[in-house]
Amino acid sequence: MWITKARLFLDDSKMKNFITCFKDLQFLVTFFSRLRPNHSGRYEASFPFLSLCGRERNFLRCEDRPVVFTHLLAADSESPRLSYCGGGEALAIPFEPARLLPLAANGRLYHPAPERAGGVGLVRSALAFELSACFEYGPGSPTVPSHVHWQGRRIALTMDLAPLLPAAPPP
């Protein structure tokens, strides 16, 4: 399996577009709820993640992170949630604005993800662009924000996810 642009494909698909990606909600929920690091002893270097479905083993590789947050659900409520990997409400976790991690090195935005899937997920570009309007940049750092404005509050970014990303420079 292969994840690119927040979509799941068979690894050997020639064309990777909306037509050839997996779209069945029940399948996506089952696949991603069983996702974990690949410590099976098979294909670990090529496929760093694995999803077990009965006796079947689905090996997974991705461009960046296996969890891609695609939608912010109930953004106006007291408890907004981030939905990931096309699962809607079935694959959603609480939104933690203080733990957003913007990386200037690659221009991407990250958020905590389920531990079994690596602990860090990528925020889809369109959603990252929406959230970027909430960032506040300090006077000494025009490329990395220091705070986020969320629901009328100014919240300092913790940058605690940086050690979980191998290519991430320390904050």
Residues in the chain: 171
Structural tokens at position 149: 């404005």
Q: What is the pLDDT of residue 86?
A: 82
Q: What is the pLDDT of residue 20?
A: 44
User: Given a cut of 80, is residue 142 above it in pLDDT?
Assistant: no
Q: Taking a C-beta distance cutoff of 8 angstroms, is the pair 49, 62 a contact? A: yes
pTM of this prediction?
0.84
Q: What is the pLDDT of residues 92-111, one digit of tens each?
A: 999 999 999 998 888 899 99
User: Given a cut of 90, is residue 169 above it in pLDDT?
Assistant: no
Q: Taking a C-beta distance cutoff of 8 angstroms, is the pair 145, 136 a contact? A: yes
Q: What is the pLDDT of residues 4-62, one digit of tens each?
A: 555 554 565 555 544 445 556 777 888 888 899 999 999 999 989 998 988 888 888 88
Q: Give the whole-number percent of the chain exceeding pLDDT 90.
A: 49
With vertex at residue 131, the alpha carbon angle to CA 91 and CA 139, rounded to the nearest 5 degrees, is 140
Q: What CA–CA distance (Å, rounded) separates 21 from 19? A: 6
State the average pLDDT for the chain. 83
Q: Which residue has the higher pLDDT, 27 or 116?
A: 116
The SS3 assignment for 10 reads: coil
Q: What CA–CA distance (Å, rounded) separates 32 from 127? A: 20
Q: What CA–CA distance (Å, rounded) separates 45 from 140? A: 40
Contacting residues for 170 by C-beta, under 8 A, at least 6 apart: 162, 163
